[in-house]
Amino acid sequence: MLHNAVGSQACVACHPHRAESFFETTHAESLRLVDAKVEPELQSFFHEPSSQQMKVVRDGERIRHQSWQELPQTDYVMPLSDHPVELVMGSGTFAKSYLIRDGDALLQAPLSHYTEQGEYDMSPGYDSPSHLGFSRQVTDDCLFCHAGSLSRVDGNRSVSVLHELAIGCERCHGGGQQHVDLANQLSANSTDLTDLDAAHDWAIVHPHELGRDSLESLCAQCHLQGDVQMFVRGADSWSFHPGEDLAATRLVYKVGPTEKESASTSFVGHFGQMHASECYLGSESLTCVTCHDPHQRVDDANRESIHRDHCLSCHDNLDCGEKLNIRMTTNENSCHQCHMPRSETEVPHVSITDHRIAVPSEQADNDAPAEMATETPVTELPDVVALLDRSPDGSWQRELNEATAIGQWLWMGSNPRYDNTTVFDLATQRLRSAIQTAETSKSDSSVAHVSLVEAKTRLASLLDRVLLFPDKDRSEADEKRLRKESQTLMQWVLSEEKQPTPELQVALESLANAAAAEEQHLKAYHLYQRLIKLRRHPADHYNLGLACGKLRRFGEAEQAFMESIRIQPTYPLPYASLARLYQTIDPRAASNYMQLSQRLRVVQQGDVNVGRASQ
Ligand code: HEC
Ligand code: HEC
Ligand code: HEC
Ligand code: HEC
Ligand code: HEC
Ligand code: HEC
Ligand code: HEC
């Protein structure tokens, strides 16, 4: 998917030193084949919340991840999974994740290895009674930041063919096909290659010649992480070409409790913090690569001197107001340890070093957001702050983008305090009116904004959720109207969307569920059939099984329930359905399935995700 890519190995012959210096860095270790010999010591542990035993074992040249489910009121321990690990994600600075394969699909393992603790534990997001086990597919979204280059199969983001495992040269320098052709041509004509005038345009990105926005974009494509990320009309993550401004294809927002609610004024992430620094504001040139050279490995031996030199390229040692003898006690005058303190958290994807360079006394107000009461419901919309969106304030584009970002944040269930009718009604009103304005505004369509397909999908899925909230004041007519509005929107998305995007998946799911609810089982059947070709969710197969049952296609129903269980053996619902299918033909099997279903429910009791199996 990387435009014009040839792979890093093609650069080595002509740029041996640049290649070597890059290959030593952690970027070049971001994804690799598992090597059983160097993987951390094998361990087993018991995950209390899910009652699962987890084990990492060596099997010849391979590493396997295995798990078992303990069940209440029985000695039977149910085998869940036993998979060879194919890929390791992460150099291990903080952690390593593991990927396994099921046919075409790459799956994320529920356990990761944490470097500082020196042990395996549940992966982030998996420390719950009904975690997803080995069912979660690693999509192109995850691989975009951790893999070098890949292509999709039939445009499907869930199925990736990896061409280069680790992050490579072309992710920063752009696809090199033309550059390599040009260099080869010139050398074939025995032109002196070091003579830069031989070609005005080397058809390759030279970072030092980029403006600040496009230079930062090189890093931001992977390091800028907000609460909500969306794409401009027709674009996806791979539409970004190094050398361009990331804001032309992508929009990123911080969404969350209002400032007065969270008592926090913290600047988020490496970018937000850097942008708030006096060093950034007061200089023309400071940016990520001022302090992080992608061609230099930083380790504990050279870390202090490298970073001090960066500060001293703009400051004099004597600029510091602190006494030198005190400074010498902090790792021999480590500027960043006092001016860019580290926080305790070492969770991947959380900024650890405070990139708001400031005098220490002023950093106190830059702490992580204060703990909030988690109970009281909120009845206003969350704040939305653009981290990357160059549309003018007050323009219809900005309004459409922000309303959609809020919609997405609520749809993801980011904060349970916002999951109520009042907030969702406000959000749908805002989104509806933003869409209306967008549809009637013909001016400025060149300004980057989110697609109407995305905006309408979000609106429709919020409406679907509103209908799930219990509300005694809602009349039957209201309910009908909301349902109609959602279906009309989803139908439009379905007809509009030619590619298997996440929006198409949402529309298929919503329309299939609606058809099933209205007893249109054949229609539901066909929609679920389309959906299971696009993604790998146990609930889709389960729902397909139910539709088959209604159509009295029992063989197909059985297959669908079995597939649902194969994907996620801890999902209780399909066991209960199998029990009903077997009731008359095999009462013993039926009773076993029913017991399994009930016991799995007991294990997962009290977990908010029970039965949703959403990913
Ligand atoms: C056949 C030889 C050859 C190959 C292969 C090659 N380059 Fe180059 N490259 C050159 C020459 C020659 C120059 C210009 C002189 C110089 O700066 O060394 C150059 C310049 C560059 C520059 C600096 C551009 C500038 O404006 O000064 C970058 C960055 C670069 N190459 C990256 C790459 C990458 C990435 C690859 C692999 C995709 C690659 N090169 C493959 C020969 C090659
Ligand atoms: C294709 C995605 C991608 C791009 C582009 C990218 N990074 Fe990274 N970066 C990562 C990932 C993933 C890691 C974690 C690597 C690991 O340890 O496995 C990382 C790690 C880092 C680290 C921590 C390194 C360490 O070991 O201490 C720094 C600093 C960093 N990147 C800076 C940059 C800068 C500066 C740029 C822009 C010139 C950049 N990155 C471009 C994905 C990317
Ligand atoms: C938007 C880009 C992005 C996405 C998407 C992303 N990561 Fe990362 N990841 C990073 C960056 C950048 C780092 C480097 C450190 C940091 O800034 O937190 C990182 C760090 C990590 C690390 C720790 C690496 C180390 O050496 O300590 C692991 C493990 C990891 N990511 C796994 C995943 C998995 C699994 C997924 C998908 C489910 C994922 N990441 C999705 C950008 C991303
Ligand atoms: C994470 C981003 C990133 C990756 C990946 C990366 N580079 Fe670079 N590269 C840079 C930056 C930033 C500079 C400019 C800073 C510098 O001069 O060191 C640079 C400079 C260069 C230059 C020198 C340009 C000049 O000034 O003459 C060459 C050649 C080059 N890189 C080649 C490569 C090759 C070959 C690879 C892969 C083996 C690679 N780069 C991987 C970011 C990257
Ligand atoms: C590209 C140049 C540049 C680099 C590199 C740089 N600074 Fe600065 N820094 C500035 C400028 C400009 C200011 C604004 C005040 C001034 O003019 O001195 C500033 C201000 C500061 C301040 C005062 C902040 C305040 O809120 O009053 C501190 C402290 C500081 N820098 C520390 C550092 C440290 C520590 C490093 C290295 C990690 C660093 N700087 C790297 C240019 C830079
Ligand atoms: C003024 C210097 C400076 C600038 C500018 C800077 N960093 Fe850093 N960065 C540091 C220091 C110092 C550390 C901590 C020491 C280390 O990891 O080597 C660090 C650490 C990191 C890490 C490792 C994880 C963490 O939070 O500790 C990442 C990733 C990173 N920086 C990314 C970026 C990105 C992206 C940018 C641009 C938005 C950026 N940095 C700009 C100095 C800087
Ligand atoms: C032991 C912690 C410590 C270390 C190490 C340290 N500083 Fe400071 N720095 C401070 C404190 C505290 C202040 C505020 C002093 C004051 O009240 O004026 C300060 C102030 C500053 C200022 C702002 C001065 C002003 O007038 O606004 C700059 C610039 C600065 N330091 C740069 C550096 C640089 C560069 C280094 C490394 C060579 C460094 N500091 C190392 C603690 C430290």
What was the pLDDT predicted at 349?
67
Asked, for residue 11, whether it belongs to a domain, the answer is: no
Q: Which of 42, 45, 29, 41 is nearest to 87 (CA)?
A: 29
Choosing from 366, 400, 421, the residue where a domain stops is 366
Q: Rounded to 5 degrees, what angle do the CA atoms 400, 402, 406 make?
A: 115
Q: Does residue 227 sit in the same domain as residue 348?
A: no
Range of the domain at 392: 211-264+376-501
Quick: pLDDT tens for 112-165: 999 988 999 999 999 999 999 999 999 988 999 999 999 998 888 888 999 999
* Shared domain check, 541 and 578: yes
528 and 417 in a single domain? The answer is no
The answer to whether the CB of 271 is under 6 A from ligand 6 is yes
480 lines ligand 7 (CB under 6 A): no
Whether residues 384 and 251 share a domain: the answer is yes
Ligand 4 lined by 289 (C-beta under 6 Å): yes
Q: Is residue 260 part of a domain?
A: yes
**Has residue 15 been placed in a domain?**
no
Is the domain of 442 the same as that of 488? yes
Contact status, residue 130 vs residue 607, Cβ threshold 8 Å: yes
What is the atom index within ligand 5 of the atom nearest the CA of 282? 12
Ligand 7 centroid vs 364 CA: distance in angstroms? 15
Model pLDDT, residue 301: 87
Distance CA 597, CA 582 (A): 14
Q: Pick the closest to residue 248 from 214, 210, 203 (CA basis).
A: 214
Q: Tell whether 513 is covered by a domain.
A: no
321 lies in the same domain as 389: no
Residues 224 and 289 placed together within one structural domain of the fold: no
Distance CA 155, CA 501 (A): 8
Which pTM was predicted? 0.94
**117 and 55, same structural domain?**
yes
Residues 420 and 432 in one domain: yes
Side-chain-side CA neighbours of residue 409 (13 Å): 27
pLDDT on residue 615: 33
Same domain, 452 and 484: yes
In a domain, 334, yes or no: yes
Number of domains in the chain: 4
Ligand 3 within 6 A of CB of 348 = yes
CB 102 within 8 A of CB 44: no
The list of the chain residues with pLDDT below 70 reads 191-200, 259-266, 345-351, 362-374, 444, 606-615
The CA 169 to ligand 4 mean position distance, Å, reads 7
* pLDDT of the residue at 25: 96
Does residue 572 form part of some domain? yes
Kindly state whether residue 85 falls inside one of the protein's structural domains.
Answer: yes
Distance 207 CA to ligand 5 centre (A): 23
Residues 291 and 260 in one domain: no
Assess whether 354 and 380 both reside in one domain.
no
Residue 135 in any domain: the answer is yes
pLDDT at residue 26, as a whole number: 96
Q: Which pLDDT belongs to residue 608? A: 44
Residue 92 CB less than 6 A away from ligand 3: yes
Residues 6+ apart with CB under 8 A from 297: 21, 24, 25, 26
